[in-house]
Amino acid sequence: MKIGTVSISYSRKFNLGNYESIELGCSLWAQVEEEEDADGVVQFLYYQAKAAVKEAAMPVIKANEFQISKAKSQRKATTDEGVAEIDNF
């Protein structure tokens, strides 16, 4: 019986638009007693790290989507007002 440590690191960069991005990452470690268990543990850690990054990213992405849609609606409103002013010229 051999005790060893396995680790996994997962990171992802998200484009937020306007030349902004955010990179989130997660590293997990586990001790295994049998080498045969290592592959399963690595796969489990990978999915856990991926889920943790996704969970951490969701509030940032949702807030960014709100800001993008808000900017688009403001831009459209400004454009529509400009057209109305030209029509009333």
Predicted structure pTM score: 0.67
Judged against a pLDDT cut of 80, whether residue 38 lies above it is answered with: yes
Any residues with CB less than 8 A from the CB of 12 and at least 6 apart, and which? 23, 24, 25, 53, 57
Note the pLDDT tens digit of each residue in 39-71.
889 999 999 999 999 999 888 888 887 667 776
> Which pLDDT value is given to residue 83?
47
Give the DSSP letter of residue 2: -
Rounded Cα–Cα distance for residues 21 and 54 (Å): 15
Alpha-carbon distances, residue 26 vs 9, 57, 70 (angstroms): 6, 12, 31
Residue-range domain boundaries for the chain:
4-83
Percent over 70 (pLDDT), the chain: 79
